[in-house]
Structure 1
Amino acid sequence: MTQDRVVAGPSGARYLRGLGRTALVAAALLLCLGVAAFAGLRYGLLLVVGLGLGMTLEGLRFGFAGPWRAMILHREPGGLLAQLLAIALVAVVAVPLVAASDGEIAGAHAPVGLAMVGGAFVFGAAMQVVLGCGSGTLVNAGSGNPAGLVALPFFAIGSFAGASHLPWWTGLGTAPVVALEGAAGLLVTLGGLGAVALLLLRLAEPAARRIPRRLVVAALLVAALALANLAIAGQPWGVVYGLGLWAAKGAAALGADLSVSGVWSAPGNAERLRESLLTDVTSLTNLGLIGGAFLVAAWRGGLARPLPRLPARAWVAMAAAGLAMGYASRLAFGCNVGAFFSGISTGSLHGWVWFAAAFAGSGLGVRLRSRLGLEAGR
């Protein structure tokens, strides 16, 4: 009997684990089918895209804040090179597609201005404090990371506030929107990405001049999913608007009168406030990012994570950084996804300016982590 129990014990545990994983996959599929039935096939497919992005980012550890930090501190460019590879792959399809669509597919184009540059710099610093950008915060929250769980609600509140104040900030002055279009625009975009890649390789330690295989696979998957998002949603992959919309819906539910806001009373925003989140394309992919990260973490059996031992000022700093990221990302017309990834891959000049300003801000943010007592949580 004892021997039978010893043999059956591990087998039973494997069976239960397999049953749990099957239930996870089934629940995800049913959720996508439910959204498709309730809101329409388009929205069900967008949730599938979001789940795929969340699973890729969490499962293959593809991110933005961490690789930037690795380059700044250790001259390890692999993660950043993978980002550039994914952007280039999307650009090859997206730049000509946006130009040929007669407005049916929009690019992530935005103007360059003082507030935009400042917002990108602040965002870059703040994302290093929590070690997560917009998508990273969603993925971290979905996988049970305490920093992501703390930063996410404050990010949403900051995005809501930043959107409300955006007209004042843009009133300080912006340049005309510049979009790199057609064959010439694509060549300039690919040339710029190649130049940055060569610079990173030049600055890197010799042993680090490569992209790890898992990140190459992740870049291919992210590029394919980003293009699927572009085709289904008619707009590039974004994050920030959806988070601000969540906070706006929360404010309205608590009795706030958003009709007095020039931003939230605008026809498009007012319509989204009235309708379900399941019909907002950015919200759906955001929810998918959280759900995809949750699926991977639960599949691995590591969802529950102990709270790191950090001083009180570190937790306050993470909340403040989340608020700053949300607010600054609205001023900067996006985060690493909406401005950097989608901006550059659809030919927007502001994506390049955002990249330079945010990377400079990340240098400051990396130094701030140790002063805020956050290194103990690594």
Structure 2
Amino acid sequence: MTAVPMTDAGRIAPRLGLIAGAVAVIAAVSVFAGARYGLLLTIGLGIGMTLEGLRFGFAGPWRAMILRRDPSGILAQLLAIGLVSVVAFPLLAAHAGELVGAQAPIGWAMAGGAFVFGAAMQVVLGCGSGTLVNAGSGNPVGLLALPFFAIGSFAGSYHLLWWTDLGALPILVLQGTSGLVVTLILLAVVAAVLLAVAAPGTRRIPGRLLWAAGIVAALAVGNLIVAGQPWGVVYGLGLWVAKGAQAVGMDLSASGFWAAPGNAARLGASVLTDVTSLTNIGLIGGAFLIAAWRTGGLSQPVPKLPARAWVATVVAGLLLGYSSRLAFGCNVGAFFSGISTGSLHGWVWFAAGFAGSMIGVRLRPWLGMEGRA
């Protein structure tokens, strides 16, 4: 029997159900955790819908630049970072006691972690936000990588202090008007370099990416204002596993990271009051909404990959989590939020992560994840 395609009229009820379900979840979080947390979930949903709906991401555009000299996606990322910077720098200066930037020290573990992350994200074609979005949209590789990403994040946090003891500079931050000007100049220089080496016909940002950059920037600023900190991904994933480990009797007091007062408090609190967890849940949910809206359901087929490709997905997921914790974030928490709030570690992360991506794109054919060139 041949399946009958669902008509637009036949999709009205399921789509209304999707909208009603999203509103109900936001309302429930607002009632049980507070309006602030319901708003953060809404921001996460908005980001997830934008990333999936307008195909705005990080791993794919970096791959396009490396393989085809197409900088359009990275230019959109730089534009979004610049837009956030213009708002975030004055906000941080005016509300120093209420808002904090994504600040971290530059060190051996940080740079090495960013390099490994860059390679691993190309293996699974998803960074931190990308893995969440891929899983939410039903992508089998993303669904497999995500739980191992979370496990790796927990393991990296457990060992973080040992790695940071290898040596790091003090936290270096660009601040105020002069810091904003320097940040914008650096973004422009990177954009100019990308344009100089771009292949013909790739030097313009497509309209959908211009819209996506503006929406993501607005939502990222909203996250900074509502959460009091920039948009991040990695911490929430590690927290989920830490809560699970604690629930089965694991003593986390031996970890300097999880024994720290702030982290210990989050272990004892509801996940619905952790700002990073809420936006992560929102990213997954937003991607699900867009994918289900398009197709009436999640129907991505399982790709026919060799066993070594599935093993590589598991290993890459673990490395994504572990390395991003050492690097103080992924493309979102370190690159995007770090640079847009003035932390110089974001620039080092960008350089090291891009270098790692150059290795990662060459690993995919060898791992059987795509045809050899």
Instruction: Give the TM-score of the pair, scaled to structure 1.
Output: 0.96
Moved over 4 A (4+): none
Whether 1:39 and 2:33 are equivalent positions in the alignment is: yes
Matched AA of 1:361:
G
Which structure 2 residues correspond to residues 25-104 of structure 1 after superposition, within 5 A? 25-104=19-98
How far apart, CA to CA, are the structure 1 residues paired with 2:7 and 2:248?
A: 46
Q: How big is each residue's C-alpha offset from its partner over 1:278-316, in whole Å with a ceiling of 9 and x where there is no partner?
A: 000000000000000000000011512111000000000
**Which residue number corresponds to residue 176 of structure 2?**
182
Whether 1:117 and 2:117 are equivalent positions in the alignment is: no
How far apart, CA to CA, are the structure 1 residues paired with 2:248 and 2:292?
A: 33
How far apart, CA to CA, are the structure 2 residues paired with 1:64 and 1:269?
A: 28
**Which residue number corresponds to residue 6 of structure 1?**
none
Equivalent pair of 1:310/1:376 in contact (CA under 8 Å):
no
Equivalent pair of 1:313/1:373 in contact (CA under 8 Å):
yes
Whose helix fraction is larger, Structure 1's or Structure 2's?
Answer: 1
Equivalent pair of 1:156/1:244 in contact (CA under 8 Å):
yes
Equivalent pair of 2:146/2:317 in contact (CA under 8 Å):
yes
Pairwise CA RMSD of aligned residues? 1.3
Equivalent pair of 2:43/2:223 in contact (CA under 8 Å):
yes
CA separation of 1:49 and 1:342: change in aligned 2, threshold 3 A: same
- Residue 276 (structure 1) shift: 1.0
After TM superposition, the structure 1 stretch with the greater mean CA deviation from structure 2, 264-273 or 75-84, is 264-273
Equivalent pair of 2:159/2:255 in contact (CA under 8 Å):
no
- Residue 249 (structure 1) shift: 0.9
CA separation of 1:208 and 1:13: change in aligned 2, threshold 3 A: closer
After TM superposition, the structure 1 stretch with the greater mean CA deviation from structure 2, 47-56 or 259-268, is 259-268
DSSP 3-state at the match of 1:208? coil
Whether 1:22 and 2:23 are equivalent positions in the alignment is: no
After TM superposition, the structure 1 stretch with the greater mean CA deviation from structure 2, 165-174 or 12-21, is 12-21
- Residue 102 (structure 1) shift: 2.2
Q: Which runs of 5+ in 2 are unaligned?
A: none
- Residue 251 (structure 1) shift: 1.1
Instruction: Give the TM-score of the pair, scaled to structure 2.
Output: 0.97
Equivalent pair of 1:144/1:305 in contact (CA under 8 Å):
yes
**Which residue number corresponds to residue 360 of structure 2?**
365
Matched AA of 1:260:
A
After TM superposition, the structure 1 stretch with the greater mean CA deviation from structure 2, 268-277 or 135-144, is 268-277
- Residue 250 (structure 1) shift: 1.3
- Residue 212 (structure 1) shift: 0.5
- Residue 274 (structure 1) shift: 1.1
How far apart, CA to CA, are the structure 2 residues paired with 1:105 and 1:91?
A: 14
How far apart, CA to CA, are the structure 1 residues paired with 2:96 and 2:48?
A: 31
- Residue 13 (structure 1) shift: 4.2
- Residue 376 (structure 1) shift: 5.0
Equivalent pair of 1:122/1:358 in contact (CA under 8 Å):
yes
Q: How big is each residue's C-alpha offset from its partner over 1:14-62, in whole Å with a ceiling of 9 and x where there is no partner?
A: 3331011001001101110110000001000000000000000000000
Matched AA of 1:176:
P
Matched AA of 1:317:
A
After TM superposition, the structure 1 stretch with the greater mean CA deviation from structure 2, 219-228 or 298-307, is 298-307
CA separation of 1:313 and 1:323: change in aligned 2, threshold 3 A: same
Equivalent pair of 2:90/2:176 in contact (CA under 8 Å):
yes
**Which residue number corresponds to residue 233 of structure 1?**
227
DSSP 3-state at the match of 2:229? coil
* Aligned residues with identical type, % of pairs: 71
Equivalent pair of 2:227/2:275 in contact (CA under 8 Å):
yes
How far apart, CA to CA, are the structure 2 residues paired with 1:173 and 1:14?
A: 59
Residue-pair matches, total: 368
Equivalent pair of 1:143/1:294 in contact (CA under 8 Å):
yes
Which structure 2 residues correspond to residues 328-367 of structure 1 after superposition, within 5 A? 328-367=323-362
Matched AA of 2:250:
A
Which structure 2 residues correspond to residues 1-378 of structure 1 after superposition, within 5 A? 13-301=7-295, 303-376=298-371
Matched AA of 1:61:
R
- Residue 233 (structure 1) shift: 0.2
Q: How big is each residue's C-alpha offset from its partner over 1:162-194, in whole Å with a ceiling of 9 and x where there is no partner?
A: 001010001011101110001110000000000
